[in-house]
Amino acid sequence: MYYQRALRECWTDAGEQFPVLLLTGPRQVGKTTLLQHLCEKSRRYVTLDDPSIRTLAREDPALLLQRFEPPVLIDEIQYAPQLLPSIKIAVDADHRPGMFWLTGSQQFQMMRGISETLAGRVAILNLLGFSGRERHRLELNTSPFMPTQTALRERERSAVDSSLKSIYKDIWLGSFPALIAGPVKDRDLFYSSYLQTYLQRDVRDLAQVGSEAAFVRFLRACAARTGQMLNLTQLARDADVAVNTAKNWLSILQASFQIFLLQPYHTNLTKRLVKTPKLYFLDTGLCAYLTEWSSPETLAAGAMSGAILETYALCELLKSWWHRGKKPLLYYYRDKDQREIDFLLIQDQISYPLEIKKSASPKREWVGNFSALARLKRKVGEGGVLCLCKQVMPLAETANAIPIGMI
């Protein structure tokens, strides 16, 4: 059964403007399925997962493009960056919109090669796993999430159930299409297989990891810290690796779309703001699997329940923007007085603060830290607290309690 993706409209629009389109994201989030669904009959499909095709692409890229003339969809382009100069030559000779559709599961060398070779010719879009709206087959034609009254009214008509049971079921299962729309029923077996595939493909491609067991130990240590400020020294100590190794492996997790580092909001106007990023997993199901929570109920009642709810909110925020072809100016706020705001959305030079709370009973004190933003000398817009309440409720003149399912 095919589930519609919010990115489809943005992809179609970009295909009418750019000769090359690149879709990036983690493995198995539905990149190829989406593009094959959108393909016109004339577009050919070639995957570089095929060893013989991959060898041809590396050794004689011009010949491969003769065999697979545009319009063409090339899957897993990171396996043959040698193709990029030949794609550039083909584009410069013709320059028709939508000539090449590319997918990739890694960012390092691929993104550097594409930025250098195809500058001005390529549109780059990101796809993660199913958003809450996608998985529950709700209205997808909504603007990226903002905590304003106008935006909330638009989303109120179709929102995910924000009850504790429903949200933590979604968090525990994760957002991979195979578990939601596919035939896979055994969640633990899926994540075990995913982890093995990830180690054998992406990790070995991106770096020489001497011990897979040590890398998995590092991955579990990162999962245990989702929603926390990054401390490389502690992370390295708990994973029993050198700090430089931890730094390198953290880059691998970023390059393969497993984690996201949320940067702190910082300004030269005040030196009282922290500069350390926060670490978040980009799939809550994989995070819960790595930290060994056996059910949604134990996860919701456990020590990680608050951090993983915040992780879920971050992922949904990113999807609401990325799947509409936009990138949010998203930060967190923390000063040396220990006042913290979970998320800070910046738009048109206005700050929109957001807190995440695992509670269904809104309290006015939840927005107390919003007043700390006054020292930034920037206009502060409407704020919100994403929680488990059933409907939007006012907490202050410019702040509301918002059901987390409205993201």
Q: Please, where in the chain does CATH 3.40.50.300 lie?
A: 7-126
End-to-end CA distance of the chain: 24
Pairing of strands 44-47, 20-24: unpaired
Residues 6+ positions from 24 with CB-CB distance below 8 Å: 31, 103, 104, 105, 107, 111, 124, 125, 126, 127, 257
pLDDT tens, the chain, 407 aa long: 799 999 999 999 999 999 999 999 999 999 999 999 999 889 999 999 899 999 999 999 999 999 999 999 999 998 888 899 999 999 999 889 999 999 988 765 555 667 667 778 889 999 999 999 999 999 999 999 999 999 999 898 889 999 999 999 999 999 999 999 988 899 999 999 999 888 777 776 666 677 778 889 999 999 999 999 999 999 999 999 999 999 989 988 998 899 999 999 977 655 656 789 999 999 999 999 999 999 999 999 999 999 999 999 999 999 999 999 999 999 999 988 888 999 999 999 999 999 999 999 999 999 999 998 888 888 999 999 999 999 999 999 999 999 999 99
In 10 A of CB 118, how many CB atoms?
22
Secondary structure (3-state) at 155: helix
Q: Could you tell me which of 70, 73, 53 has the C-alpha nearest to residue 61?
A: 53
Contact in structure between 318 and 347 (CB atoms under 8 Å): no
Three-state helix/strand/coil letters over 310-342: HHHHHHHHHHHHHCCCCCCEEEEEEECCCCEEE
Q: Look up the CATH number of domain 7-126.
A: 3.40.50.300
Q: Could you tell me which of 50, 59, 46, 49 has the C-alpha nearest to residue 102?
A: 46
Per-residue pLDDT tens digits for 101-158: 999 887 655 556 676 677 788 899 999 999 999 999 999 999 999 999 999 998 988 8
Contact in structure between 56 and 64 (CB atoms under 8 Å): yes
DSSP 269: T
Per-residue pLDDT tens digits for 364-402: 999 999 998 888 888 999 999 999 999 999 999 999 999
